[in-house]
Amino acid sequence: MRRSKAIPAIAVMAGAALMLTACGGSSGGGQDNGSGSGGLASAAIGKGESGDTYTAPKVNDIGPVVVSTDKPFTAYNNATSDAVQSYNSYALIQVLARPFVLDGNNKVLLNKDVMDSVEVTSTSPKQQAPKIKKGVSWSDGAAWNCKDFYLAWLAQSGTDLKPDGKTTYFLPGATTGYSQIDSAKCQDDQTFVTEFSSPFGDWKSLFGISDDLLPAHVLEKQTGVSDITQVTPKSPADILTKVSDFWNTGWKGFKADLAPGSGAYMISDWQQGSSITLVRNPKWTGNPGGPAKITLKAIPDSNAQVQALQNNEEQVLSSAQPDANAAQTLQGLGSSGITYGANAGLNFEHLDLNLKRPIFQDEAVRKAFGQCINRNELVDKLIKQVQPDAKPFNSVIFFPGMPGYADNYSDKLISNPATAKATLTSDGWAPGPDGIMAKGGQKLTFKISHTDIPRRKQTVALLQQECKAAGIDIQDDTDANFLDKRVSDSDYDVALFAWSVAPFHSAGITTYKTGGNQNWNGTTSPAADAAFAKALAQTDDAAAVTDYQTADKAIADTYSTFPLFQPPNMWAYTGDIDKAYFQSYYGSMWNANEWQKPNA
């Protein structure tokens, strides 16, 4: 229950910068619907987990560890709009302490190493009061306290308007949740009290899960502001300018004295574009982590990652953009002590039919197109090599494992060209001499537009063959810049891309509501519109889920968008590590402090 609440907000954050993700790989994905290789399910649970809390376990020193992933670490302040990307979180999860952490199953755990408690002191208006443990400090010796929480709110409140009334001083990637906080103040160094203006179910995702708590004392020192908690979104322009300038740009690049650690590790070295190295934080009060040093390397080519793992240059491999060949090679390396795992990512690939095009105003055409699509073949040929237990994806609002997920598409995308043909015939279409259906001199032919990602091209190649038997002629339209403008200008017949966030509950509204901001294909469903309106007015989350379900179903019935599958993540580790798991948002390093030698 709790988990399901936390996910949407986090997804908003993580997904914000990664909309229409180029390679379908953005944030990770770790679903609890049994994905991942069977024996690895236990790896999704942290060793230090106990009930709803987490305490770093006592572990042995295992020396240095090297981890690889697809893209490099770019920024210590991962909340600015130009920086936010999940690959930064991969390292920061071990560097910056936070009140709540997530395990491999996305279960929210109170971090007892740094927190005494986090209480909701009042529900109306909702008040939240984290109590910070005494004695927690940054690696440079300064206290980790309420100030750091305050800065996170100040920077992301979205209310620090410049005199022009349109732009803000701070440039955060997102303000979700923070913008609903009316007031935030430090009762004392250990207690931070926030008051929400409107209910925000995912309050636990703020201050640490969807973003990081940055060192306020560093900012104070650099800007000459003596006490950051005295600065408010309505402070004088000169002060806000000074403070926001540092927050926006001061943490770019890497200077050791500006970027201390508050977690079990701190950054010791950063090679722009290639690697970041973490060492144990000497001031860390919890149990020290197992690896003495963790190097997170960026190796964009996943086959190169595999060979580096084989060569024992790295002990853990993680990829949110896996390649089928690399995955299969890894799966065959069991005899060399390499363990492989894969799970579904939190985004989904789908087809949008442009209802503004005359050909798709004909519902029979949309229906027939759906009926010839064989999603099992797509999953078998494109996903299962990486994730053997992958399944087609069946909703545009919910993910499998979340309350409300229902299969709205298996009866529509039935992989039956004969039925598709019959649907067309009964609508007056007839096969032409070339086998392509035609009606009134109009041939049934359209283009599927997408960016130049191999998997998308393969998807189209498969769809072409699947629908050929139904007399539907599909053309491939690969355009590297398709998502730049054409998609939002509705300049396509059918668009093939991935949503990483929008479908989540309220976020889906702009995409599927009639006339919504991102409703580029012109989906119209009065039933869905009504359900969305009702959902927004609900105060009870469970009731809202029912409304979203109604909307989900109504959207499916318009035959205007077809979800296909969730692109997978994969990871692997050598016999030098006991177990590792790919966490949806934090990659493979979410529990790096717990890593041990197998027999230790």
Give, for 526, the enclosing helix (H) or strand (E). helix 526-537
Size of the site for another protein (CB under 8 A): 89
Q: Which of residues 296-315 bind another protein (CB under 8 A)?
A: 297-301, 303-305, 307-308, 310-314
Tell how far CA 116 is from the center of its chain.
Answer: 29
Report how far residue 530's alpha carbon sits from residue 514's, in angstroms, rounded to the nearest whole number.
10
Q: Which of residues 66-95 bind another protein (CB under 8 A)?
A: 66, 68, 71-72, 74-75, 77, 80-85, 87-88
Report how far residue 352's alpha carbon sits from residue 11's, in angstroms, rounded to the nearest whole number.
22
Indicate the residue among 40 and 483 with the shorter CB distance to another protein: 483
Asked whether 374 and 564 are in contact (CB, 8 A), the reply is no
Q: Which of residues 17-46 bind another protein (CB under 8 A)?
A: 17, 19-20, 22
Indicate the residue among 16 and 266 with the shorter CB distance to another protein: 16
Give, for 188, the enclosing helix (H) or strand (E). strand 181-188
Q: Which stretch binds another protein (CB under 8 A): 35-43, 50-58, 499-507, 552-560?
A: 499-507
CA-nearest of 298, 305, 296, 300 to 326 is: 305
Select the residue interacting with another protein from 190, 232, 271, 538 (CB under 8 A).
271
Minimum distance from residue 103 beta carbon to another protein (Å): 26
Minimum distance from residue 87 beta carbon to another protein (Å): 8
The crossing angle, in degrees rounded to 10, of helices 237-245 and 216-223 is: 120
Q: Which of residues 214-253 bind another protein (CB under 8 A)?
A: 249, 252-253
Indicate the residue among 307 and 514 with the shorter CB distance to another protein: 307
Give, for 297, the enclosing helix (H) or strand (E). strand 291-298
| Residue 270: strand pairing partners | 276
Indicate the residue among 15 and 263 with the shorter CB distance to another protein: 15
Query: Token digits for 381?
Result: 């040929």
Residue 381 binds another protein, judged by CB under 8 A: yes
Indicate the residue among 70 and 103 with the shorter CB distance to another protein: 70
Residue 326 binds another protein, judged by CB under 8 A: yes
Neighbours of 27 (CB within 10 A): 28
Indicate the residue among 29 and 503 with the shorter CB distance to another protein: 503
Token pair 């000074």 is at which residue?
242
String marking each residue 105-144 x if it binds another protein according to CB under 8 A: ----------------------------------------
Select the residue interacting with another protein from 109, 259, 467, 501 (CB under 8 A).
501
* H helix intervals, 65-145: 86-95
Report how far residue 218's alpha carbon sits from residue 339's, in angstroms, rounded to the nearest whole number.
41
Residue 324 binds another protein, judged by CB under 8 A: yes
Q: Which of residues 560-599 bind another protein (CB under 8 A)?
A: none
* Ramachandran class of 440: left when φ > 0, alpha when ψ lies in -120 to 50, beta otherwise: left
| Pairing of β 494-499 and β 561-565 | unpaired
Select the residue interacting with another protein from 230, 272, 361, 410 (CB under 8 A).
272
Q: Which of residues 460-479 bind another protein (CB under 8 A)?
A: 460-462, 464-466, 476, 478-479
The answer to whether the bond into 125 is cis (omega within 30° of 0) is: yes
String marking each residue 148-187 x if it binds another protein according to CB under 8 A: ------------------xx------x-------------
Report how far residue 152's alpha carbon sits from residue 13's, in angstroms, rounded to the nearest whole number.
14
Indicate the residue among 119 and 313 with the shorter CB distance to another protein: 313
Query: Token digits for 316?
Result: 């853990």
Residue 413 binds another protein, judged by CB under 8 A: no
Residue 375 binds another protein, judged by CB under 8 A: no
| Pairing of β 115-123 and β 100-102 | unpaired
Residue 457 binds another protein, judged by CB under 8 A: yes
Token pair 């609890």 is at which residue?
32
